[in-house]
Structure 1
Amino acid sequence: MVEGVFVTATGTDIGKTYISALLVKAMRQHGLHCGYYKAVLSGARSIHESDAGFVNEFAQIDQEKESLLSYLYKTPVSPHLAAKLEGNPVSLRKIKADYKKVCCSFDYVVTEGSGGIVCPLRWDEEAQILLEDIVKALSLSCLVVADAGLGTINATVLTTEYLKQRQIHISGIILNHYTGNEMERNNIKMIEILTGVPVLACVKEGDVNLNISLNKLKDIFKREVF
């Protein structure tokens, strides 16, 4: 049975694509057959130039580019608006089918979200789809990516509390843009105290590997049911 995880973040441009790439790369370095999938992406002209293309190249997956992504919008706005402007609304049925195809080729799959967890993907008279609906439809746990710096305590607590209220299991937290100063070390402590969720790794600028043990890596993909 394929094991998967959904990578979300406390907001846009926090670095979930980079962390997703590091995560897939780490799995593959340990000999684990890990692939990648992103349901919806806006603001890119092609798959090759998109977040999905970056992960495929960085982690050296050599995955068929058409399987990396279900919806690609060129307009650099929220997916629900891009879908409306470009006349190509998101379908959960297609996303589930595309994800299943990726699962047929790998033992582990990292699924990357769009923006933060409260991201609308479709909002019209026929359907209203938020990012959390994909998480639930694919029966995945979430890995939360947060910035290591000032303001992260509030953003991380709010994100984790939202996920808990929606009964979505959180596998852990990874802090990005970490420098190791006293404030950031204290941020780790306070985040773990206030959320009850472990900070599994801290990623510095330019890191090309994820400093995390194999056991912790595998634990990220385990789903717990409330």
Structure 2
Amino acid sequence: MRGLFVTATDTGVGKTEVACAILRNARAAGLDVIGMKPAQSGHDPGEPSDADRLRAACDGAEPLEVICPYTFAAPLAPAVAARVEGKTVSLARIVDAARALAARHEAVLVEGAGGLLVPLTERETYADLARALGLAALVVARAGLGTVNHVALTVEALRARRIPLAGIVLNRTVAEDDPSVPHNVAEIARLTGCEPLATLPFVRDIAERASIVRSRLAGKIQF
């Protein structure tokens, strides 16, 4: 399968924003790439969900239920949310859905939920999904204090499972800097051997921010 697996070091670090920017850049360059959100939980019905945003970034090329096979109300890891709602998540079903998308499109971008080891099913994590799909992983992380440890642990977990590292993106999630910000890129490169592809700025205006994210990532992600 040709594609990319987008993961993060934590929840709320801007993973969907980065995934949407990558999708829009790739499609603008002429690549028929489709986004997929295997499972989402805790969606506010009054706001666009992660899957909605991925679908919009792909110009609505596939129905929402195809892009996102599982949706849960509780803001919990998919395996836990499914258990609370008396449901189950099947890794095989997700893999089949991803392969079906890959058969209709040139590439598939699969966005995880939270971090790499978030429980997806009762037995498997998102790392198991990335391995099952044979996709390299792009890691999205906060730009501030604590990110060096989080990124290094995530990269170590990827390498222990022989999941290729496609790159690292640092994302400013708050307006205020902290003393670590000027040093984090170099420290991450020193510890992991992989220099982050970009450090994305904090911009309050959503449209302006989306444009900046796209420009900073243009040409840096390969499928």
TM-score in terms of structure 1 length: 0.86
**Partner of 1:62 in structure 2?**
60
Contact 1:28 1:34 in 2 (8 A): yes
In the TM superposition, residue 153 of structure 1 has moved relative to its aligned partner by 0.7
Q: Does 1:170 align with 2:170?
A: no
Q: Does 1:192 align with 2:196?
A: no
Q: Does 1:157 align with 2:159?
A: no
In the TM superposition, residue 191 of structure 1 has moved relative to its aligned partner by 0.5
TM-score in terms of structure 2 length: 0.87
Q: Report the number of matched residues.
A: 212
In the TM superposition, residue 60 of structure 1 has moved relative to its aligned partner by 4.7
Structure with a larger share of its residues in strand: 1
Contact 2:35 2:58 in 1 (8 A): no
Deviations 1:125-170 (A, max 9, x none): xxx1111111111111100001111111111111111111111111
Q: Which amino acid aligns with 2:96?
A: A
**Partner of 1:212 in structure 2?**
217
Distance 2:9 2:115 in 1: 5
Structure 2 gap ranges (5+):
204-208
**Partner of 1:94 in structure 2?**
93
Q: Which amino acid aligns with 1:184?
A: V
Alignment of 1:11-160 (within 5 A): 11-44=10-43, 49-57=48-56, 59-63=57-61, 64-123=63-122, 128-160=123-155
Structure 1 gap ranges (5+):
222-226
Deviations 1:183-203 (A, max 9, x none): 423211110111012311222
Match of 2:198 among 198, 201, 220: 201
In the TM superposition, residue 213 of structure 1 has moved relative to its aligned partner by 4.5
CA pair 185-82 structure 1, distance change in 2 beyond 3 A: same
Q: Secondary structure at the match of 1:143?
A: strand
